[in-house]
Amino acid sequence: MKRAVTRVVVAGAGGKMGQTLIEAVRADSSLVLTAVLDVRRSPAVGTNIGGVKVGSDAAKAISAGDVLIDFTRPEGTIEHLDICARLGKSIVIGTTGFPDSLKKAILQAGRRIPIAMSPNFAVGVNALFKLAEVAAGILGDDFDVEIVEAHHRNKVDAPSGTALKLGEVVASALKRDLKKEARHGRVGDTGVRPLRQIGFHAIRGGDIVGEHTVIFAGAGERVELTIRSQSRMTYALGALRAVKFLRGKRAGLYDMNDVLGLK
């Protein structure tokens, strides 16, 4: 019996992440790359990447596949999401930095089509989310929490979506309101650190792919959980797991806990 093949479309084809996704899709025999797209002003438009010509007509590209993988920018992702919803196509979203207004649009689209969304699709990072949750539950309020992340100089949002997700996971385990307790960087006379505060610190430089550390600092001991991503391929392979997870799924908003069976 012939195995079903999923037709995949990749957005942001001219970027480093887009090209990594294309490479991963082409290497997987259960997937076929049917279209790639980028914004009209991109120099990649009209060129050939992964054996497919890069287009700028999002509706035409998305209609050629079963699922779109989108690791681009919030405004572009929402435009693509609207097209997916209209055409009944699934979407894997790795874009970060969405304002609350656009997050609502994603929730609404999840009532119409299957969506897999995560701030980080790397399997190791999702293991870190789970470990941070467990550690926070064990250590409790006796340990101060600081989250440090580092990325390449071209990353435009800070803190990273992964760092914010770590903060959400820890805050939930500690029964804290992250919006009230988050502190982004420190400068000047900051006074004594509030006990329930969760600190965030963003480093930008060079070609750092991605590093995240959760620090639990207590009296006389410190627990640090760190993940260092050495290749964008880790994100791409996790995204492909999400693509396969969405096969035959009903409409809904899924995350990597669903994909990895951690719920």
Residues 207 and 113: their CA atoms lie apart, in Å, by 36
Q: What is the dihedral of CA 70, 205, 156, 80, to 10 degrees?
A: -10
Catalytic residue check, 130: no
β-bridge pairing 210-217 and 222-229: antiparallel
Catalytic residue check, 151: yes
Helical axes 123-139 vs 233-245, angle rounded to 10°: 90
**Active-site annotation holder among 16, 103, 130, 155:** 155
3 state SS of 147: strand
Residues 74 and 12: their CA atoms lie apart, in Å, by 12
C-alpha gyration radius of the chain: 19
Q: Report residue 142: phi and psi, to 5°.
A: -80, -10
SS3 breakdown of the chain: % helix, strand, coil, rounded to 5?
35, 25, 40
Residue that the structure tokens 């479309």 belong to: 9
**Active-site annotation holder among 2, 60, 103, 151:** 151
Closest CA to 48 of 5, 19, 77, 8: 19
3 state SS of 203: strand
3 state SS of 198: strand
Catalytic residues: 151, 155
